[in-house]
Amino acid sequence: MADKLARSLHSPSGTRTSNSRFDPDNSGRPTTWDSFGIWDSRIDEPILLPSSIRYGKLIPKVSLFKVGYISQISQCKENEDRYQVSQMTNDILYFAVFDGHSSAQAADFCHKYMEQYIKEPVAKEDNREVVLTNVFLNVDKALAKHLHFSADGSVVDVCLCLSTAMVALLWDGIELVVASMGDSHAMLCRKGKALKLTVDHTPERKDEKERIRKNGGFVTWNSLGQPHVNGRLAMTPNIGDFDLKNAGVIAEPETKRISDSDVLAKIECACGFGGMVLQATWVAPATF
């Protein structure tokens, strides 16, 4: 298979080639991609050769130059949201959105350290969903220590410092693993229709409400009919908000794995109520 694919990637001398389409049989028809990246498109994209050989199919290389974002302050005085996009390793692309609440401390901490916490275990553990789950928990513990020993870590900072989060890792341009918590979510757009890949974590969910109550917390509704943990917190899991950990507020995310067989079209990652949207033109029939 590898030899056959390698030969197909070779263009004989004297044959005109084009960077905007892959046309090994000189048929004049653009290739239809069946993987993350480009799907039924003439967009100029190079081939990700190692992954293509490994999986026996053509996989376009994802360009970080085609990742876009928008961040709006909304009703807050300051923008407490953070995002990050990077080539974590030769095989992995890293995308993240962090939605700070009450302050930007937790979002800043996640922005600075989340990727570092992922790099080592992701190289050793095959179960990538387990990796992201453990990393979220470890980053939460590290934030607690950081606030405790920080020179300016006042009691108010420790109690109200929190962030929801959404992290997505793309392996070999063919496998996407998403971890999310709170109201930071990933959405897939297919043929003009939006579909949530993740489910928001609020006290209104039966499973979240039961965990809060089992741990001694309670759920109340404000005048707008919105549920809150102990009359204060609208998201049941998050990184930070340590004074509510004993009330069932956890830092464990929900995870989801998506392969190219799902034929995605476009994924958008949003923080909360339109606070931030991170979009990439790569995830094919999808993007992030």
User: CB of 264 within 8 A of CB of 284?
Assistant: yes
CATH of range 65-280; options 3.60.40.10, 3.40.50.2300, 3.40.50.300, 1.10.3720.10: 3.60.40.10
Q: Where are the domains of the chain?
A: 1-61, 65-280
List Cα–Cα distances, 230 to 94, 131, 219, 243, in angstroms: 35, 31, 6, 11
Nearest to 101 by CA among 270, 277, 254, 239: 239
pLDDT tens-place values along the chain, 288 residues long: 445 444 444 444 444 444 444 455 555 555 444 445 444 444 456 777 777 777 777 777 777 877 777 777 767 677 778 889 899 998 899 999 998 877 888 999 999 999 999 999 998 988 999 999 999 999 999 998 888 776 554 544 556 688 899 999 988 878 889 999 988 888 766 667 777 788 889 899 999 999 999 999 999 999 888 899 998 888 889 999 888 889 999 999 999 988 764 434 445 555 443 444 555 433 333 333
User: CB of 249 within 8 A of CB of 236?
Assistant: yes
**Residue linked to tokens 């030769």:** 90
pLDDT tens track for 222-260? 988 889 999 888 888 999 988 888 999 999 999 998 876
Contacts of 125 (CB under 8 A, 6+ apart): 131
Say if residue 194 is exposed, middle or buried (CB neighbours under 10 Å; 0-12, 13-18, 19+): exposed
CA dist 140 and 148 (Å) reads 13
User: CB of 271 within 8 A of CB of 97?
Assistant: yes
pTM of this prediction? Answer: 0.74
